[in-house]
Amino acid sequence: MRRNDLYAGITRPAGDDPWIRMACDEAVASVRAGGGPFGAVLVQIDDDSGATLRHWRDRNHVVQWTDPTAHAEVCVIRQAARDLGVFHLHRIEQATARMPQPGPTSHCILYASTEPCPMCYGAIAWARIPHLVFAASRHDAAAEGVGFADADLHDDMARPYRDRAAMTVHRMRPGNALDAFDLWRRVETVPY
């Protein structure tokens, strides 16, 4: 897919949007603190009034925490989910959330300084965050002198397993491969 086709129809002017600016400021703060150049802000919005209820901000902590999953988006999602006591951030119920909200439901918007990598995009999707806004593209992150090759991961995920470059993948099916799913069907669970 051509670069222009990838972003066709989604680009908007930033104007005075404080959240995307805050995400980019968080990325700069991350670099100054010795981390990667990535920041994220998660904003909780009341569904009835459209009012901003609160926000969380975080940055890349991969180097500081020696944790390859400590990307800004994942860190900010973890903070908000823990604080709110929910794991879905698309329809936060007043009755079940740990933090107060005026209306019966709210949702979150994620602002990222850079287009999320496949792991972060997956985390955003699993958290069911309905809106994502990002500033720099994966191509900006891969530019000479920057060197974050997320574009390669995006491309690799589109290939069949046998053709992927990031790692060799094998599938094995031991006799107990489906036991956890069978048990899940029979016990009372919290759907997610």
Q: Is 93 a catalytic residue?
A: no
Between β-strands 131-136 and 105-114, what pairing exists: parallel, antiparallel or unpaired? parallel
Residue of 73, 115, 144, 188 marked active site: 73
Strand partners, 134: 112
Please, are residues 108 and 119 in contact by the beta-carbon 8 Å criterion? no
Sequence-distant (≥ 6) Cβ neighbours of residue 137 within 8 angstroms: 3, 7, 114, 115
Q: Residue 30 corresponds to which tokens in the numbers above?
A: 């991350």
Q: Which residue has the tokens 């006591």?
A: 85
Q: Residue 76 corresponds to which tokens in the numbers above?
A: 């900010």
Give the three-class secondary structure for 112: strand
Whole-number Å distance between alpha carbons of 120 and 108: 15
Residues tagged active-site: 73
